[in-house]
Amino acid sequence: MKKRIAVLPGDGIGKEVVKGAIEVLQAVGERFGHQFDFSYGKIGGTAIDAAGTPLPDETLELCKECDAVLLGAVGGPKWDCQPPHLRPERGLLKLRKELALYANLRPTQYYSSLSDTSPLRKEVIEGVDMLMVRELTGGLYFGKPSERTKQNGEDAVVDTLYYQKDEMHRVIKLAFELARKRRGKVTSIDKANVLESSRMWREVAEDLSKRYPDVTLEHMLVDNAAMQMIKNPKQFDVVVTENMFGDILSDEASVLTGSLGMLPSASISENGPYLYEPIHGSAPDIEGKNTANPIAMILSAAMMLRLSFGMEEEAAAIENAVNQVLDAGCRTRDIVSFGKKQVSTSEMIEEVKATLLDNEAILNIMGAYA
């Protein structure tokens, strides 16, 4: 099979982790007989420096022409003083809007080999398997007006939380469909005791639940959900929520695996290419130091194989290789613990590739430490 993939490394460690995902995909192509063609584009701060905009027209057109999009990360202090429309993050938000990427899927799974890297007790996180479904193109991040203004001669600011009912409907419906393929439970998170938007959200969820009698629906206020994800994360199966709540809660969920560097994501649309990216940021403080964790980006590539290309066996091969490397004791700086050996970004990538290509091989790097 031949597929064309748009590659947007972005800023900071984005370049380093994307390089790892590309090398792993090339190993998949070698093992399974596929051809992946990679076409590169600029986004974020890198695009601002090169083209004066966080999302050049040619990057957007490239993404629309490809079968899927891989993105590293955007942002950094270098561009903090840019006006709002020229901040790196605006490039990512515009890309999501232009590609109609209405839902972000963020899985959080328990890794037995990493149980000692989480600040939570093993008995709390053991067996966690949660999928966060975050609405991606509405809410506070896109509502208008969003501006600084004057009110009675004083500085004031307004951000608008805006949703149309059909935007809520499609993402909540997706959550029910996904729950049917998992453990049959949807937790809808809102702030219905305060926000009118959340009351509509809850009404839509209740209405949709009538079509899915085989799926259990529960509602949870966002402040309680933030506590429950730490106190009892195993209760969650599919979690669905609006844009800002999902942004915050899915980052909170990273504590369950011990690091943001472990969590992949997929942003999906009704038509057109899906986008795949790690949930971590650009981490400019470690850019170029070869210490970033590439696993979230590599697992995002596995999600691409499964969701965009229907390559279930190939996706599972990447996931199994990651698990084997972790079980063997390979750790980047963010997940290293007592008794384990710390490896660099490039070394972790090499271990995953080697394991993909020869599952019987003894891990080269761990052997070097023996």
Could you tell me the two tokens for 66? Answer: 């490809």
* Catalytic residue check, 159: no
* 339, β-bridge pairs: none
User: 191, 274, 334, 340: which is the annotated catalytic residue?
Assistant: 191
For residue 224, give Cα distances in angstroms to 107, 189, 198, 219, 356: 20, 9, 15, 10, 41
User: 11, 190, 237, 247: which is the annotated catalytic residue?
Assistant: 247
Compute the distance between CA of residue 180 and CA of residue 189 in angstroms, rounded to an integer: 19
User: 116, 223, 285, 358: which is the annotated catalytic residue?
Assistant: 223
Q: What's the chain's length in residues?
A: 370
User: 67, 129, 159, 251: which is the annotated catalytic residue?
Assistant: 251
User: 110, 111, 141, 274: which is the annotated catalytic residue?
Assistant: 141
Q: Answer for the pair 143, 248: CB distance below 8 angstroms, yes or no.
A: no
Compute the distance between CA of residue 32 and CA of residue 224 in angstroms, rounded to an integer: 45
* Catalytic residue check, 191: yes
* Catalytic residue check, 141: yes
CB burial string 81-116: b at 16+ within 10 A, e below: eeeeeebbbbbbbbbbbebebbbbbbbbbbbebbbe
Closest by CA position to 46, among listed 15, 5, 4: 15
**Host H or E run for residue 155:** strand 154-158
Pairing outcome for strands 264-269 and 274-278: antiparallel
**Catalytic center residues:** 141, 191, 223, 247, 251
